[in-house]
Amino acid sequence: MSEEEGAPLDTLASHKDLPFRLADMKLNKPLPSYIPLAEPINKLRREWSFQYRLLRTEWSRDHYTTLAFGILAFCLGSVSTELWSGGDATVSGINGVLAINGFQFFQVLVSVLCWAWFTYQAWRLFPVMRVHALSLLVMWNAMLGAQIFYHRNNPNFPMAFNLSNMMEGTLIVLIVFFFLFFFWKAVVETRDLHVEVHHLHEDVRVMEAELAEHSLKGWSALFGTWAGLISISAWAGVHHIAEYGEPNYGFLLLHLLTGIPAVPALFVVLWYPQRMLGDQARVRTRAAVDAAVEMEGEPIPANATAACPNCGEKSTLTRDVTGALTHPCLGAGCAGKVAVGTDCPTCKTNMPSRLSCTSCGVNAPAIEFLPDQEAW
């Protein structure tokens, strides 16, 4: 990660509390433009360089210690003396657990404790991503379960597969990728809402620059890489165990080489959105935000039109996706939208909580300019 150049000192404090900006990152050796896909690859390299440099700046001992516990838990759960002895395939259930000798039982117990500590630390370090941290770990284990179903009747899967024996595994894989897609969608839409609310500006070019500064292309690529790593690791691990005859330790090695990097990749997947959005954010899709507002008693009607409660003259008052009432700024030359009762983030002009009708002159609370909503 030595490809990035340091940002000039006079720009380091220009973007709130970030020590440097994504726009200031430069590649020492960018790919030439004549190479296919050079531009998107260079963008990914810049974003990964930015994330790595930010990671090195802000991660504490707790982060690295938790990573060590996660990697140790994975290794202890993946490597066992039974992989060499072959174990006893005729013993299962409770009898199989009781058949584990002292050292192997201790190894399993330590692995479970390390995973529990890893999960607890992820819950503590990433408050915004708590639920998602648990769900991603569940999805990881679900991929292992899918591979067990795939290999149950076909130890050489995916060779000579039979569609009738793939129903359970395929269903689990579809469910996993369904939840992974909606996790990705929730992070991206929360980012969009964050930029719209916290980086609102009348100049479209400034808004585009802010959106580029909050780019998630590098994060999305890393998230896709993590999903690929856990898929390969799950297949290789189960395939090694399911093999008949002389075991091929190449599959065990592939399981380790893909599973170990998946642990820090998962950590970055959880850390970066929280760092971007702040500790008070809630990672949800826009549909979930709308549903939450409706449950709180303030629905966001798609066709609601604000109008004067006295004469019916249409008003420019609107309700945004968070349920807040917004109105075009009253400041001269300012085209931004401001939540009523707050100051404009661009020109600092105060937006009163009461509005006056331009037709009849009546002055009323802003909420009265919106039509009454049915409780149902």
The 10s digit of each residue's pLDDT in 44-100 is 898 999 999 999 998 999 999 999 999 999 999 888 766 666 556 666 666 666 666
Tokens of 303: 């066709």
CA distances from 153 to 82, 96, 157 (A): 22, 20, 9
The reported pLDDT for the residue numbered 156 is 80
The reported pLDDT for the residue numbered 376 is 25
Mean local confidence (pLDDT), 26-45: 85
User: Helices H, strands E: what count in the chain?
Assistant: 11, 5
Mean pLDDT check: name the lowest of 18-27, 198-207, 217-226.
198-207
The reported pLDDT for the residue numbered 300 is 46
Q: Indicate if the pLDDT at residue 208 is higher than 50.
A: yes
The reported pLDDT for the residue numbered 322 is 60
pTM confidence score: 0.72
Where do the structural domains in the chain lie, given as residue ranges?
Answer: 126-284, 301-376
The model's confidence at residue 374, banded by pLDDT at 50, 70 and 90, is very low
CA dihedral 107, 113, 117, 122 (to 10 degrees): 80
Q: Indicate if the pLDDT at residue 307 is higher than 60.
A: yes
Cα gap 307→122, rounded to integer Å: 49
Cα gap 356→375, rounded to integer Å: 27
Dihedral-angle region of residue 262 (phi above 0 means left; psi in -120 to 50 means alpha; beta otherwise)? alpha
Q: Indicate if the pLDDT at residue 207 is higher than 80.
A: no
Q: Is 128 exposed, middle or buried (0-12, 13-18, 19+ CB in 10 A)?
A: buried
Tokens of 67: 């990573």
Q: Indicate if the pLDDT at residue 303 is higher than 50.
A: no
The reported pLDDT for the residue numbered 17 is 64
Residues 263-274 as b/e (b if ≥16 CB within 10 A, e otherwise) read bbbbbbbbbbbb
The reported pLDDT for the residue numbered 353 is 76
The model's confidence at residue 161, banded by pLDDT at 50, 70 and 90, is confident
The reported pLDDT for the residue numbered 279 is 72
Tokens of 43: 């963008």
**Regarding beta strands 354-356 and 363-365, do their DSSP bridges make them parallel or antiparallel, or are they unpaired?**
antiparallel
Give me the percent of the chain exceeding a pLDDT of 70. Answer: 79
The reported pLDDT for the residue numbered 85 is 61
Q: What is the DSSP letter of 50?
A: H
The reported pLDDT for the residue numbered 120 is 94
In this structure, are residues 310 and 338 in contact, taking their beta carbons and an 8 Å threshold?
A: no
Residues 350-373 as b/e (b if ≥16 CB within 10 A, e otherwise) read ebeeebebeeeeeeeebbbbbeee
The reported pLDDT for the residue numbered 142 is 95
Cα gap 274→265, rounded to integer Å: 15
The reported pLDDT for the residue numbered 119 is 94
Tokens of 195: 């930029």
The reported pLDDT for the residue numbered 359 is 79
Q: 70: number of CA atoms within 13 Å, CB side?
A: 21
Cα gap 281→191, rounded to integer Å: 10
User: Tens digits of per-residue pLDDT, 97-142?
Assistant: 666 667 777 888 899 999 999 999 999 999 889 899 999 999 999 9
User: Regarding predicted confidence, which is higher, 284 or 217?
Assistant: 217
User: Tens digits of per-residue pLDDT, 336-351?
Assistant: 778 887 888 777 788 8
Tokens of 78: 């993946």
User: Tens digits of per-residue pLDDT, 184-201?
Assistant: 999 998 888 877 777 766
The reported pLDDT for the residue numbered 291 is 66
User: Tens digits of per-residue pLDDT, 230-282?
Assistant: 999 999 988 888 876 566 788 889 999 999 999 999 999 999 998 888 777 77
